[in-house]
Chains A and B, each alone.
Chain A
């Protein structure tokens, strides 16, 4: 599975040199009574300088865990993470700090990720002192950071406490804090989903500007596949800890191959769809008084994890987990029924890819 995935060319590769690699990364959590939760299963991808890779999936799909693994905040169960070609070692305090000055994390919730008893200045001075040399002019550096995230007049904002800022302003502070370490990799975990729709765009364009200016390799985690279309170069779709589809953002969103990606795309609000099924009264398939069909379990115990919800699932899907196999040189999907799910992409694959066993 992994070998197949790595031979793919990442859609992000055109942007710049390789910064970070995740190779067959897995993470299990023990959840008691001898049970194990496979939060991330055999996931491989590359981050390139100046490019954005989006990790898309629903709550609980393992996308945040994957980012936390890259951030060195969780130990890998198996697999390797490489930074600039060298395997990452975060076991020593010093090694971890060195790593942190290269790889920074932006949290989802700007209300919880800033300390309410400290000013903005404090939040920015600490990483500057920690990660930059002793002869740094801390004050000038902090002002520069504020200007980079467009929080001006900088000195006025530096004296404020988090509760005096709006959600967007707070998230700008967390961007500035991440930049203070002068990282090469930025892991952004749903950086705009807590913000109002009207300011999300501004924040994404700010992130885009920072990516360009500092040639950041960026991992953008989101459940909003539409924003990934605009913001990312490559999209990885995760389901139950596995990457089920990957490819260039525009292709994956416009012509999704995997049934789960198709479901994600179909579920996104479509403002142009004025004759929506929603306004006509739901799906209209149920008679009044009849109990609603129950939601199927989300993840299968065996076989393809999406099989309980998949309209195309057949026996094979419930028994064997499909591997992530290339469709084109830049796209891949893990599905036995690709011939039925995306006939225009995979015309002549008899039996939905059954010829390529691992």
Chain B
């Protein structure tokens, strides 16, 4: 490892090739929460990989296990969470041979965290220390993970702020003196402080308004191109991922239901849940569509239903779904073998059944309004 990680020239693949070795490879990972009421299967045999320079979007609603999956893969969970199976192979450019994160010793973990895999935590409001100023928080990270002299560390802290577009005069500011967008930028600067290979972003823009969100996303992508890290982007907003991510993994009730490139997911969503998600957000452009949403709520993971967890909410569901084995298989009609789905029954062109409780367009025909 060089003493000056910021200068290390790193060749970056323009687009992640299919044959490239993943930098992070999650295999068969299961996590349960042991509770008095029984085990909650928060993550159930999940396989997901991240190629160098790739942006993988992990999409799912609250409680789907998306954060648990990623925190589990970084061994950031504590009791009552227990990892019951799987492996997480990390193969960054700086490590000599791939290693299983789940079997690392504490000192190996310490070297992995932040130096190799950094996280931008959800809600910058709470993730920054309110009694330390920006510079001290940055210095804290730099001094903990890089062995460099104090002057150099200070200079690095300042240049990190340049990187995310915050004036250096803000080094002495405390978190409460910064706007939400600035705090989020500081969080990103902290994650990038040690030039990591993999940056995990857990809903980094959820609390921000759209203009700031777009600004920060554009900046994240720019920094990715410049510094050459890979991104695992966690969000519940599929519309955002379609624009941002190279590949999208859709998670529901602790399992992955579909993985595909953004284009495939957008054009030919195969799983009914993905289809439902795509039909859930109002679009700003193009003609007004009828929106259906997804009625119902996710299952209780203490006693998951047999077969497909989405069955109770699925408009296409049949009795065969109760016995389906939740393995991801290539979508039969797709040309892309990496577009995989857990639903073998519904193909992209399967016509939608009549929606249950479909919503009527409110503003469509004001004349037909009963004037109560």
Contact = CB atoms under 8 A, between A and B. Distances in A.
Interface of A: 14-16, 50, 52, 58-59, 166-169, 196-202, 205, 208, 211-215, 223-227, 229-233, 249-250, 253, 263-274, 276-279, 281-284, 286, 288, 291-295
A302 to B, nearest CB: 22
Given A225-B210, A264-B211, A281-B221, A271 B359 contact: no
B36 interface: no
A56 to B, nearest CB: 10
Nearest to A203: B293
Given A263-B211, A293-B165, 9 more contacts: A58-B212, A196-B61, A200-B293, A201-B291, A202-B294, A226-B284, A265-B284, A269-B243, A282-B222
A280 to B, nearest CB: 8
A197 B237 contact: yes
Contacts of B361: 230
B337 interface: no
A223 B239 CA distance: 16
Contacts, number: 183
Which 3 A-B residue pairs are closest in the complex by CB-CB distance? A282-B222, A292-B165, A201-B293
Contacts of B285: 270, 272
A226 B219 contact: no
A209 B191 CA distance: 45
B62 to A, nearest CB: 5
A301 to B, nearest CB: 18
A215 B301 CA distance: 40
Given A197-B280, A200-B280, A278-B218, A59 B180 contact: yes
B38 interface: no
Nearest to B294: A198
Contacts of A201: 280-282, 291-293, 359
B117 to A, nearest CB: 22
Given A197-B237, A205-B359, A269-B243, A15 B213 contact: no
A214 B371 CA distance: 10
Contacts of B166: 294
B363 interface: yes
22 contacts: A15-B366, A50-B371, A58-B209, A166-B63, A167-B62, A198-B277, A198-B294, A201-B282, A201-B359, A205-B359, A212-B369, A224-B210, A225-B210, A226-B284, A230-B291, A231-B282, A233-B363, A272-B266, A272-B283, A276-B244, A278-B243, A279-B244
Contact of A278 (B221, B263, B359, B363): B221
A200 B238 CA distance: 13
A225 B165 contact: no
B362 interface: yes
B295 interface: yes
B210 A197 contact: no
A291 B181 CA distance: 18
A47 to B, nearest CB: 15
Interface in B247-285: 262-263, 266, 276-278, 280-285
B211 A197 contact: no
Nearest to B180: A59
B372 interface: yes
B99 interface: no
B106 to A, nearest CB: 35
A286 B222 contact: yes
Contacts of B236: 196-198
Nearest to B277: A198
B36 to A, nearest CB: 16
